Amino acid sequence: MVKGNTMINENYLENISKIRSKDLDIDEMENLLVEIFQHGIDLSRVYCEAVKRSKEDEEIRRINNSIWEYEKGYVDFISCRAKVNNLDVELGYIGARILKVLVKHKGDTVDRRMLLDQIWGNDADISYRTIDAHVCKLKKRLLLDDSIICIRSIGYKLK
């Protein structure tokens, strides 16, 4: 971010994030503010950029989280296993990957082509029925019949 010829470096953004999370003591905060004002940097722009990055980081952490919890249990995407109503359930690698994409796009319709591309890659010679079979198994194993909705001729949506 630039104002005039002054570049806002990553250190400012990290320190503003620390202020928001209360990890910066009062002396460090004062030094940061003095430095910002000495360089003529618009503090509100720095703060807005830090808030934006903080929200993006939080969303990335949420998506990359290896555990997804829901009302009937949880899914561990790394081990491809789940605990549903206190029973251990094996998802398989493909099932776990499909579910992770649906969780990442929760509330949105994920088309079958996107699932094919993200799970098997662009060059895969896999039919849409393969995805349907995997999703059907997921719904049964995780008791998600009401949560994973088939959008006819398009794909799936996780509510």
Question: For each of the chain's 159 residues, which pLDDT tens digit applies?
Answer: 434 434 455 666 666 565 555 555 667 767 777 776 666 666 666 666 666 666 555 555 555 668 888 999 989 888 888 999 999 999 988 999 999 999 989 999 999 989 988 888 877 788 889 999 999 999 999 999 899 999 998 999 999
> Tokens in use for 50?
């830090």
Neighbour-count burial for 92-128, b at 16+ CB within 10 Å, e otherwise: eebbbbbbbbbbbbeeeebebeebbeebeeeeeeeee
Q: Write out the residue range of the structural domain in which residue 150 sits.
A: 67-158
Same domain flag for 22 and 90: no
Same domain flag for 13 and 46: yes
Same domain flag for 29 and 48: yes
Same domain flag for 8 and 53: yes
- Alpha carbons within 13 angstroms on the beta-carbon side of residue 134 total 24
Same domain flag for 76 and 147: yes
The pTM score is 0.59
